[in-house]
Amino acid sequence: MDIYHGWCDLKPGVSDTDFADAFHGYMEGLKAEGKIESYRLTRKKLGLAPSHLGEFHFMIEVRDLAQLDGAFQFVSARTEPTESAHHGVNSLVQNVRFALYRDFPDPQRVRGQEKF
């Protein structure tokens, strides 16, 4: 699995539950279309996270980079109802940061032949 991570803060005046509802609606739409496998939305607890990361953290799991690319292509078509769901999330957040991680070790990994 590849895991697409994002961290964000809410824009001033945005309700935390409105954001959560919008995020879950958007992700459920992508999941129903087979564009992602699963997702999670978490919130910083007790301020225990590096200060440069946002209040909210989301993780989107995809089988591989091909599925992630397919999700990006699907969203970038900018068609309804996905466009409104995407805008419904993006319009609520600021200070967004992203990262891409993978499960390790990779399932195809052969051990004992590494040069480094």
Strand ranges for 11-104 from DSSP E: 38-43, 56-62, 93-102
Q: What is the pTM of this model?
A: 0.92
Closest to 60 (Cα-Cα) out of 96, 85, 35: 35
Q: Read off the pLDDT of residues 46-66 as tens digits, 9 standing for 90 and up.
A: 989 998 999 999 999 999 999
In the chain, the domains with their CATH numbers are: 2-96 (3.30.70.100)
Q: Read off the pLDDT of residues 6-17 as tens digits, 9 standing for 90 and up.
A: 999 999 999 999
